Amino acid sequence: MLKLTQTQLAYLAGFIDGDGSIYVRLKPNDTYRYGFQIAPYIVLFQSAKDEIHFQKICKLLSCGYLRRRKDGILEYTIGRREEILSLIKVIKPYLILKRRQADLLESIFRKKDLVKNAKDFSKLMDLINKFADINYSKKRIKHKLTP
What is the model's pLDDT at position 139?
Answer: 60
User: What is the per-residue pLDDT across 91-129, written as a single tens digit (0 to 9) for each?
Assistant: 999 999 999 999 999 999 999 999 999 999 999 999 998
Region 129-137: mean pLDDT is 77
Residue 132: band (very low, low, confident or very high) from pLDDT cuts 50, 70, 90: confident
d(CA 52, CA 1): 20
Residue 80 near residue 110, CB atoms below 8 Å: no
What is the model's pLDDT at position 112?
Answer: 95
Specify the pTM: 0.86
CATH number for the 6-134 domain, one of 3.90.1310.10, 1.10.10.10, 3.10.28.10, 1.10.10.60? 3.10.28.10
User: What is the per-residue pLDDT across 6-40, written as a single tens digit (0 to 9) for each?
Assistant: 999 999 999 999 999 999 999 999 999 999 999 99
Please determine, for residue 135, whether its predicted confidence score (pLDDT) is greater than 80. Answer: no
More confidently predicted of 4 and 146: 4
User: What is the per-residue pLDDT across 52-85, written as a single tens digit (0 to 9) for each?
Assistant: 999 998 888 889 999 999 999 999 999 999 999 9
Expressed in angstroms, the distance from the first to the final Cα of the chain is 42
Domain ranges of the chain: 6-134
* Helix 118-129 and helix 99-112, axial crossing angle in degrees, nearest 10: 170
d(CA 90, CA 132): 25
